[in-house]
Amino acid sequence: MILEWLQSLRTRSSKAARDWGYVYQNVSLKFRARRCAKAWRGHLEHSRAWVREQVQRIQPTSVMVIGSGLLLEVPLEDLLKVAEKIYLVDLVHAPEIRKLAARTPQIILIEKDISGLLGVLRKDMGPFQIKNIPWKQLPPWDLPPVDLVISANLLSQIPLLISETVTMSSETYERFARAVRDQHIERLFAQAPQVLLFADFETRYMDRKGQCLKSESFEVNLRALKPDREWLWEIAPFGESSPHYRVEMRVKAFVGSLRR
């Protein structure tokens, strides 16, 4: 925890990203990936292989990765082989990602709150503000047009950290999260003619006997996205979240295109 805190202090970011906890989340994810490297290996291999396959099929000259994070799940080397420009979009870029971009002319970093909510919501106000979000008036992404946009394991995460900061009932959260996810899908199709999305859609808590103790899932309007592949991700092996259960997620990958 101390190492994570110290590294978060050395990570460059906007004030909003730090205030809302996104800097610490970025650093915490890095440490968790190290602890759970063995359990995560299959998921990372599946996601990289799938993105690699789709990029080779589409052959885009420009690519945007929304939620680029630590680039754990995206095969950057394969993107560099085909794309003249690669935009990495996230609220926080780790120091190693900044160094990579500095020595790679094809890579352009963009710090962006893709939810558009951090400038609208206030941490010191209650859940009533959630009901009054002007969804149609939220700031547009205003990002460069590209051939291909990739939503990298982000869909379930966008509303999550906000809900951990702004207290709300489970019913309010479900409505809020659904609106956030639907907006994300809509904006992906406005951003590029070719869309790739992979995300966790179901979480299961499994005991040592292999029995499912609890499962959680969510709904979203996938619009023109078509299912292409799915796999399981053991995100928390025994001992990470609890000695009594492990946590696995069902990750689904989708492809979509719109003619312009």
> What is the domain-level CATH number for residue 49?
3.40.50
Q: Is residue 26 part of a domain?
A: no
Q: Specify if 4 maps to a domain.
A: no
**Strands of 62-161, DSSP E:** 62-66, 85-90, 107-111, 148-152
Range of the domain at 221: 37-257
Question: Per the domain annotation, does 5 fall within a domain?
Answer: no
Residue 42 within any structural domain of the chain? yes
- Give the up-direction half-sphere exposure of residue 28: CA atoms within 13 A in the CB hemisphere: 8
Q: What is the pLDDT of residues 64-120, one digit of tens each?
A: 999 999 999 999 999 999 999 999 999 999 999 999 999 999 999 999 999 999 989
Answer yes or no: is 138 within a domain: yes
Q: Could you read off the pLDDT of 223-250 as tens digits, one per residue?
A: 989 999 999 999 999 999 999 999 999 9
**Domain count of the chain?**
1
pLDDT digit string (tens) for 34-60? 999 999 999 999 999 999 999 999 999
Answer for the pair 212, 177: CB distance below 8 angstroms, yes or no.
no
In a domain, 151, yes or no: yes
Domain-embedded: residue 83: yes
C-alpha 75/C-alpha 52 separation (Å) is 6
| Residue 126 placed within a domain | yes
